Chain A
Amino acid sequence: MARTLSAPVTVAFDYTRSTGPVLGRFLTGLRDGVLVAGRTSEGEVVVPPLEFDPVTHQATSDFVEVAPVGTVTSWTWVPEPVKGQPLDRPFAFALVTLDGATRPLLHAVDVSSPEEMSTGMRVRVRWAEERQGAITDIAAFEPDPGGDGVATTAPGTDEPVTGVVTPVALDYNYAASPEESAFYRGLNEGRIVGQRCPACQKVYIPPRSACPADGTPTAEEVELSQTGTVTTFCIVNVPFLGQKITPPYVSAYVLLDGADIAVLHLILGIPAEEVRMGMRVKAVWKPREEWAFSLENIDHFAPTGEPDADYDTYKQHL
């Protein structure tokens, strides 16, 4: 058995950014199939243009169009491309100084082996089939066979580019701590496992690698009761994306008997307006064949019918 449980997880978010006038001008140029550089106070012609001059700190206002053809000033081979790079087969990243510019642009060069790359080689832009105002409108550079790198398709609009959306998705193999692994393995067997701090005797569920009060590892496993007390709750009336239960329903903190921290779970089997602080509830498990290493093995908590707990028994946990 592996020491810890792990599972793949992908964290994804589309970053939406406004461009401002300088980068907006550059990206509008890409959309239109032209390369826009900015001139600095020291006479450098920089592409992409810098938003502010590195010496005077004034906003860049002197723009100049440069050629879609240029010279490689440095390069590196990419033997194992990662997801999202301009090409999904081995290629070169290069610094390319475009004709008319004095500073290089970072982009990909589409060749099949490092033997085809050299510093000083001439390359030209290969435009993406559809251009939308992003650095990826340049699909890649390719060795210059004498063409002019002129875009052959017209943009679909003449509105200036004012924003970009950059999708970011990161893949992880997410491991649980040994303590969390014990918790999830317990759930897979129909048990709720916490751990006790040897210093303050508090019982944590899910167990943590250290007691947050004392910083002491919590080694002693404690199997907890399947019965507990609602300490506080809210009635969910608002629908949202991905909601699994039709509102209104109740989300509550349940303090399991023997635990010192409440767990968040659903309360079902009782009208929402009848749920109350101090109500005694018990875990209702899904059918065994649906169990996994998950807190979702517990479908919900339902009333036990016992008298409500005294406020004093849970007031420390609010």
Chain B
Amino acid sequence: MRDVAVVGFAQRQMPEFDGSPTCVELLVPLFAECYEQTGWTRRDVGFWCSGSSDYLAGRSFSFVQAVDAIGVIPPVNESHVEMDLAWAMYEAWLKIQTGEVDTALVYAFGKSSAGVLRRTLALQLEPYTMTPLWPDTVSLAGLQARAGIDAGLWDETAMAEVANRSLTDAEKNEWSIRKGGSSVAELLARPVYADPLRKHDCSPVTDGAAALVLAAGDRAREVRDRPAWITGISHYIDPMGMGTRDLTRSPSAQRAGAALDLGGVEVAELHAPFSHQELILRRELGLADDVTINPSGGALTSNPMFSGGGIRVGEAASRIWSGEAGKVLGHATSGPALQQNLVCTMAADVEGAAN
């Protein structure tokens, strides 16, 4: 296996982007930031992969239009996933492992505010017995939250603690669109919205885009003094039906974590779009109390569709670059109620990178 590191990261997040859902306008400056961080031009990028969905854009082939932001003469080696940026990164990591390329730039974008996001996402559900009911994202998360409350696994106070810590940490993140912690008591005094969820238990609808840069071996060392070496990456998927799995758990997250060595992780960026989902993920990954969770404020304060997971990887990697941490974890989720999960560990020490 080749040693591969995350060496670049750029992001844009906003409540409402007033431009085209192809997001070329957002991607051009993101790529410029990646070129500046790496000292590369587009011709130094061996492989490109994007994550997006035409269902969000409300038009066909939005990902093809987005390729304009790269510039494709001479032609580029390019792919697309209808998944979060973290899975685009997974494809790029595999591409680098094949030896065909040494570098990759992966990006994702989505204008969630163009439609009714929680409704649009019903199209990712089982199409015969679920989609015709249009179960919205907030409702499915609410069913999950209550299942855990009823089982005594968490309570509204524990959920509010997650929200308060996230809102407090978000104050230091220029990209978070919801910020400002107060106290657990103050949060619990706010009205219940989708019983049992309060609005601060749900991530805000967020528009945005993000990009990650990967490089192998010496190409990574040329870019950063402390590249964030990918020491492990794993993803699993749970069954689609809401009735056929224990909603208080996320077996796919557990399996993804169990496939990696999570010992010594100091910082974990968990992609939890709902407060109780952070509690599920911490338990499934077995993270100890001394692990710093979501210092960025996390997805609960800002969660652009298709880049919210990859941003977790980028935020975690940046803690390695800065020297704040020696080993970190980035997690991404997709699908309803933590159905699909990807876990990635990164470290300053290349030892173990090629596990």
Chain A residues in contact with chain B, CB under 8 A? 2-4, 6, 9, 11, 15, 17, 19, 23, 26-27, 46-48, 50, 54, 73-79, 82-86, 93-95, 103-108, 114, 117, 119, 134-136, 164, 166, 168, 170-178, 180, 208-217
Complex alpha-carbon distance, A142 and B20, angstroms = 44
- Give the most central of B67, B116, B118, B128: most A CB within 10 Å: B128
A27 vs B196: C-alpha distance when bound (angstroms): 32
Chain B residues with CB under 8 Å of A11's CB are 58-59
Known: A77-B194, A95-B243, A114-B195. A217 touches B115 (CB 8 A): no
Assess whether B219 is interfacial by the CB under 8 Å rule.
no
Further pairs besides A93-B135, A212-B67: 11, Cβ < 8 Å: A4-B18, A4-B20, A11-B58, A46-B244, A79-B193, A95-B243, A135-B129, A166-B132, A172-B114, A177-B20, A177-B22
Closest to A94 in B: B143
Evaluate contact between A208 and B243: CB separation under 8 angstroms: no
Knowing A172-B115, A174-B59 touch, does A78 contact B19 (C-beta < 8 A)?
no
B197 to A76, Cβ gap below 8 A? yes
Q: In the complex, A302 Cα to B24 Cα: how many Å?
A: 35
B-side contacts of A214, CB under 8 Å: 71, 73
A76-B132 contact in complex given A50-B244, A170-B115, A178-B25, C-beta closer than 8 Å: no
Q: What's the minimum C-beta distance from B299 to chain A, rounded to whole angstroms?
A: 20
B54 to chain A, nearest CB (A): 9
A180 partner residues in chain B, CB cutoff 8 A: 20
In the complex the two chains form, is B119's CB within 8 Å of A83's CB?
A: yes
B residues in contact with A171, CB < 8 Å: 115-116
B132 touches A82 (CB 8 A): no
| B143 engages A175 (CB within 8 Å) | no
List 26 A-B pairs, Cβ < 8 Å: A15-B127, A23-B129, A74-B144, A74-B247, A75-B143, A76-B142, A82-B119, A82-B134, A83-B134, A84-B132, A85-B134, A93-B139, A94-B143, A106-B129, A106-B130, A106-B242, A135-B133, A171-B116, A173-B115, A175-B20, A209-B19, A209-B20, A209-B25, A211-B71, A212-B73, A215-B71
Tell whether B259 is near chain A: CB-to-CB under 8 Å: no
Which A residues are in CB contact (< 8 Å) with B131? 166, 168
Residues from chain B with a CB closer than 8 A to the CB of A105 are 243
Flag if A76 contacts B134 (CB, 8 Å). no
B1-42, CB under 8 A of A: which get 1 and which 0?
000000000000000001111101101100100000000001
A176 near B115 with CB under 8 A, answer no
Across the interface, which residues of B come within 8 angstroms of A94, CB to CB?
A: 143
B90 contacts which chain A residues (CB < 8 A)?
none
Q: Considering the chains assembled together, what is the distance between the CA atoms of A139 and B27 in angstroms?
A: 45
Q: Which residue of chain A is the closest to B72 with respect to CB atoms?
A: A212
Residues of B within 8 A of A6 (CB): 18
Once bound together, how far apart are the Cα atoms of A213 and B19, in whole Å? 22
Query: B67: which A residues are within 8 A, CB to CB?
Result: 212
- Asked whether any CB of chain A lies closer than 8 Å to the CB of B352, the reply is no
B41 to chain A, nearest CB (A): 10
**Do residues B133 and A86 form an inter-chain contact, with CB atoms below 8 A?**
yes
Given contacts A76-B195, A108-B133, whether A135 and B244 have CB atoms under 8 Å apart is no
Residue in chain A with minimal CB distance to B58: A172
Q: Is B260's CB within 8 Å of the partner chain A?
A: no
Q: CB-CB < 8 A to A19: which residues of B?
A: 128
B323 within 8 A of partner (CB):
no
Verify B239–A79 contact, CB threshold 8 A. no
- A251 to chain B minimum Cβ distance, whole angstroms, is 19
Please encode chain B, from 139 to 177, with 1 for each CB lying within 8 Å of some chain A CB and 0 for all others. Answer: 111111111001000000000000000000000000000
Task: Classify chain B's interface size.
Answer: 35 or more
Chain A minimum-CB-distance residue to B146: A74
Task: For A9, give the chain B residue with the smallest CB separation.
Answer: B58
A contact residues around B141 at 8 Å (CB) = 76
Cα distance, A82 to B194, chains bound together (Å)? 13
* A103 surroundings in chain B (CB, below 8 A): 243-244
> CB < 8 Å: which of B68, B122, B134, B150 contacts A209?
B68
Q: How far is the CB of A126 from chain B (nearest CB, A)?
A: 14
Q: Which residues of B contact A114 (CB under 8 A)?
A: 192, 195
What CA separation (Å) do A209 and B31 show in the bound complex? 14
Contacts of A84 in B (CB 8 A): 119, 122, 132, 134
Docked Cα-Cα span, A103 to B192, in Å, equals: 28
Q: Within the assembled complex, what's the spacing in Å between the Cα atoms of A83 and B129?
A: 17
Q: Is the CB of A209 within 8 A of B28?
A: yes
Complex formed: what's the CA distance from A213 to B72 in Å?
Answer: 5
> CB distance A76 to B73 under 8 Å?
no
Q: Are B194 and A215 in contact (CB under 8 A)?
A: no
**Given A3-B18, A175-B18, A215-B69, do A82 and B118 touch, yes or no (CB 8 Å)?**
yes
Question: In whole angstroms, how far apart are the Cα atoms of A75 and B149 in the complex?
Answer: 11
Quote the shortest CB–CB distance from A209 to chain B (angstroms): 4
- CB pair A164–B128 under 8 Å, yes or no, is yes
Which A residues are in CB contact (< 8 Å) with B114?
172-175
Tell me the nearest residue of chain A to B65, going by C-beta. Answer: A208
Which residue of chain B lies nearest to A168 when distances are taken between CB atoms in the complex?
Answer: B123
**Residue B55 at the A interface, CB < 8 A?**
yes
Contact between B197 and A174, CB atoms less than 8 A apart: no
Residue contact B25 to A177, C-beta cutoff 8 Å: yes
Asked whether any CB of chain A lies closer than 8 Å to the CB of B84, the reply is: no
B195 neighbours in A (Cβ, 8 Å): 76-77, 114, 117
B266-296 interface code vs A (CB 8 A; 1 in, 0 out): 0000000000000000000000000000000
Complex partner residue of A166 from B59, B127, B145, B147, CB under 8 angstroms: B127
- What residues on A are CB-neighbors of B146 within 8 Å? 74-76, 119
Q: How far is the CA of A43 from the CA of B111 in the complex (A)?
A: 45
B21, A170: Cβ atoms closer than 8 Å: no
Q: Which residue of B lies closest to A140 (CB)?
A: B133
- Pick the 8 closest A-B CB pairs, nearest first: A215-B71, A76-B142, A172-B58, A209-B24, A77-B195, A177-B20, A82-B119, A84-B134
Interface residues of B in 322-345 (CB under 8 A from A): none
The proximity string for B residues 84-127 relative to A, scoring 1 for CB distances below 8 Å and 0 otherwise, is: 00000000000000000000000000010011101110110001
